[in-house]
Amino acid sequence: MNSEIKTSNEDLSVSDPFAAAFVEEDVRGRSLWVDAWHRLRKNRAAVVSGVIMAFMLLLVVFGPMVLPWEADFTDWDNTSTPPSLETAHWFGTDAVGRDILVRTLEGGRISLLVGLVATLVSLVIGVTYGAVAGYYGGLTDRVMMRIVDIVYALPFMFFVILLMVVFGRHIILIFVAIGAVNWLDMARIVRGQTLSLKNTEFVEAARACGVTHNSIIRRHIIPNLLGVVIVYVTLTIPQVILVESFLSFLGLGVQEPMSSWGALVNDGAQDMESAPWTLVFPATFLTVTLYCFNYIGDGMRDALDPKDHL
């Protein structure tokens, strides 16, 4: 069949003398993504937040390897000591003599992991589900979105407690529980975007060129709604971290000896008067992270959608 399509350019004479005059290097295009990246780099709050988050990530990943303490090591000589350089417990210790710095960093691993994984799960499910519902429309759309409505109506805490009762407490369950709820919002946002995208002329042009439905969704719909999705993702990560902290604060989250920022804040809050450092340090890490993600999300929104927010 390929013989039908000629690839030699000899028969394609040039109708524009201008075009013939230049045969030079390919010009590099500047995609909308690159444009957005340049705008994002000009946003100081977002850049500073990004740097802090990168630093935080390194700290959380490599910190516990470098520090002399294990997270579950109990230093009986130094229980509830305030931060000091002499004891080498820079952030102090808790009531059973565990190093707060190591525990904060290890807790950060869990908190960030929950934030990233649960968001990723909701991203994959939500984008696929929403794009399919929006693109095919009609009855498919109505059935799929009613399912979303029904799941949405389940009370979240009830759902989590039920999962805990049935399967026992496990870190995976937290991913599942948060992911299962968060993809609903994502699906709704993506569906709305898809509905407006599928009536654009370039999608119609793709249909006229015989592009299959799957390729249209993959090549034309999803890249064009990714901007909105990325913004939503950066704003979902802190939200998920907060939900996990909330669950841990209620005692439904991670279990000892594992820890997360939420669990540490919970522990610290109980000794707040006698040992305030057990609360202050994990709470600071948690807050800084939440702020940073929100600033990055804001910056992304301005960068990716310059028309709406000037």
Partner 1 sequence: MSKPVLRVQDLAVTFSSYTGGLLNRHERQLRAVDGISFDLDPGETLGIVGESGSGKSTLARAILGLVKVSRGRVMWRGEELTGLDEEALRQKRKEIQIVFQDPVASLNPRMTAGDIIAEPLWTFYPNMERLQVEERTRGMMKMVGLLPNQINRYPHEFSGGQCQRIGIARSLVLNPKLLVCDEPVSALDVSIQAQIINLLKDLQKKLGLALIFIAHDLSVVRHISDRVMVMYMGQAMEVAEKASLYRRPLHPYTNALMKSVPVPDPKLAAAARQESWLKGDMPSPYQRPKGCIFHNRCPLRVKRCEADVPALRRLENGDWVACHRAEELDLSIQVPASG
Residue in 57, 207, 246, 283 binding partner 1, rule: CB under 8 A: 207
Per-residue binding string, partner 1, 161-200, x by CB under 8 A, is ---------------------------------------x
State the minimum distance, in angstroms, from the CB of residue 1 to partner 1: 7
Selection from 225, 215, 218 nearest residue 194 by Cα: 225
Q: Would you say 110 and 286 are in contact if contact means Cβ atoms under 8 Å apart?
A: no
- DSSP structure string for 90-107: TT-B-TT--BHHHHHHHH
State the minimum distance, in angstroms, from the CB of residue 85 to partner 1: 54
Q: CB nearer to partner 1: give 68 or 210.
A: 210
Residue in 220, 241, 263, 278 binding partner 1, rule: CB under 8 A: 220
Per-residue binding string, partner 1, 28-67, x by CB under 8 A, is xxxxxx----------------------------------
Q: Based on the shown chain and the rule CB under 8 A, indicate whether residue 23 belongs to the binding site for partner 1.
A: yes
Cβ atoms within 10 Å, residue 39: 17
Q: Based on the shown chain and the rule CB under 8 A, indicate whether residue 25 belongs to the binding site for partner 1.
A: yes
State the minimum distance, in angstroms, from the CB of residue 152 to partner 1: 22
Listed as own residue / partner, the contacts of 96-100 with beta carbons closer than 8 Å and 24 or more positions apart are 98/69, 98/71, 98/72, 98/73, 98/74, 99/67, 99/69, 99/71, 99/73, 99/75, 100/264, 100/277, 100/278, 100/281, 100/282
Q: Based on the shown chain and the rule CB under 8 A, indicate whether residue 273 belongs to the binding site for partner 1.
A: no
Q: Based on the shown chain and the rule CB under 8 A, indicate whether residue 206 belongs to the binding site for partner 1.
A: yes
Q: Would you say 74 and 98 are in contact if contact means Cβ atoms under 8 Å apart?
A: yes
Q: Would you say 267 and 94 are in contact if contact means Cβ atoms under 8 Å apart?
A: yes
- 28 is written with which tokens? 């590099």
Q: Which residues bind partner 1 (CB under 8 A)?
A: 1-2, 4-9, 12-16, 18-19, 22-33, 200-202, 204-212, 215, 219-220, 223-224
